[in-house]
Amino acid sequence: MQTFDPSIILYTPDALNARGKQALLAYPQAAQQEIKQHNRLPALEGNHYQIKSNALVLGRLKTLVCRESGRSSDFIAPSLANGCMGACAYCYVDRNKAVNPITLFTNTEEILRAVDKHVHQQAWPKVPNQTHARFYTYDIGCNSDVSVDASISDSVQTAVAFFREHPKAFATFATKFVNPELLTYDPQGKTRIRFSLLPKRVSKLVDVRTDSLEKRLAAIADFYQAGYEVHVNFSPVIVYKGWLDDYRELFEQLNQVVPPQLKQTMDCEVIFLTHNQGQHELNLAINPRAEELIWAPNIQETKQSQFGGINVRYQYQRKAVWIHEFRQLQQEVIPWCTIRYIF
């Protein structure tokens, strides 16, 4: 995995518990600057994507709310971190912030206590659903990439241990990186890792600064052997000339690397591309070739997000056809990989 090596660390005083101080010590070459609020940053040098790799923010998360999900998880846990060093052209987290460096929330134990309180407020036993038949599932990486977060502090290891021992709660996160350190966390089947996969030639163009498709595929068996529940995440599905041929190749690669025993339990989720006008304009200056692929007004329509932003998605009638074609291909090549949801 690419090394995260920030040149500046910005921190709020209330973030400097033992975990926060350790993060400061981990990057002795980085300049340090105290700030009043983790979500109100001073001007930083570099463009949006340079800042994502050059800066680290340490803060204390004060809004400890578990939000309903119903797709990748039952609930979205309060964030362990926000932001990522990757520069994926379609990233939905980046749309909502002018600059989006990694912000590590150092009050991990407080965050996990909020999860514990929340799950004990739910009916038990749980009614089985597509997220899990037995446990309430919490996404711990909705606003960041957990594999990267784990390279910065022990917050992810602490969270995995919490869910391993919890009688009712189960963790899940999606990732585009392979961090071997996670293999030592002993999740004992209580954490689901979802490797995000795109066809190789598309991934190289839009999944900027993330680990290659080959690395992600090669890691699947290792994480299964290490005790993780392993699923895959086909997201975002991008439509272009030959897209189904590329997905056939990807499915065949998956067929080759997934152990027979894992094929009995591996599921997937499928999300077609949603893009954003502001993000499109930002990308034109930094990654214009990606925009040639993901900005397609002739087949896209506007959509207002749940947070009020104006996004674009594939036209409803066209997407219905493409979803049907995707399902047909999945049933033909990887019928063992059940689609948990698709939209």
Average pLDDT over residues 116-142: 97
DSSP, residue by residue, 196-244: E---HHHHHHHSTTS--HHHHHHHHHHHHHTT-EEEEEEEEE---TTHH
Query: What does the pLDDT read at residue 306?
Result: 63
The separation between CA 129 and the C-alpha centre of its own chain, rounded to angstroms, equals 22
Q: In whole numbers, what is the pLDDT of the chain averaged over residues?
A: 95
pLDDT at 308: 59
Q: What is the helix (H) or strand (E) element at residue 322, kind and residue range? A: helix 316-333
pLDDT reading at 96 higher than 80: no
pLDDT confidence tier of residue 36, bands split at 50, 70 and 90: very high
The whole-number average pLDDT for the span 167-189 is 98
- DSSP for 237-296, written as a single string: E---TTHHHHHHHHHHHHHHHS-HHHHTT-EEEEEE-EEEHHHHHHHHTT-HHHHHHH--
Query: How confident is the model at residue 166, as a pLDDT?
Result: 98
If you count DSSP H runs as helices and E runs as strands, how many of each does the chain have, helices first? Answer: 12, 16
Q: What's the pLDDT at 309?
A: 67
- Report the amino acid identity of residue 157: Q
pLDDT at 184: 98
Is the pLDDT assigned to residue 298 strictly greater than 70? Answer: yes
Q: In this predicted model, what pLDDT tens digit does every residue of 97-118 receive, in sequence order?
A: 667 899 999 999 999 999 999 9
pLDDT at 241 over 80: yes
Q: How far apart are the first and last CA of the chain?
A: 30
Q: Give the CA distances from residue 102 to residues 11, 59, 174, 216, 338, in Å, rounded to whole numbers and listed in that order.
A: 12, 10, 16, 22, 33
pLDDT bracket for residue 307 (50, 70, 90):
low
Q: How far apart are CA 88 and CA 98, in angstroms?
A: 15
- The b-or-e profile of 262-283 (16+ CB within 10 A means b, else e) is beeebbbbbbbbbbbeebbebb
Q: Which CATH number fits domain 8-342: 3.80.30.30, 2.170.190.11, 3.50.50.60, 3.40.50.880?
A: 3.80.30.30
CA nearest 167: which of 131, 129, 126?
Answer: 126
Q: Is the pLDDT of residue 60 over 90?
A: yes
Q: What is the pLDDT of residues 181-237, one digit of tens each?
A: 999 999 999 999 999 999 999 999 999 999 999 999 999 999 999 999 999 999 999
Helix axes 155-165, 108-119, angle to 10 degrees: 30
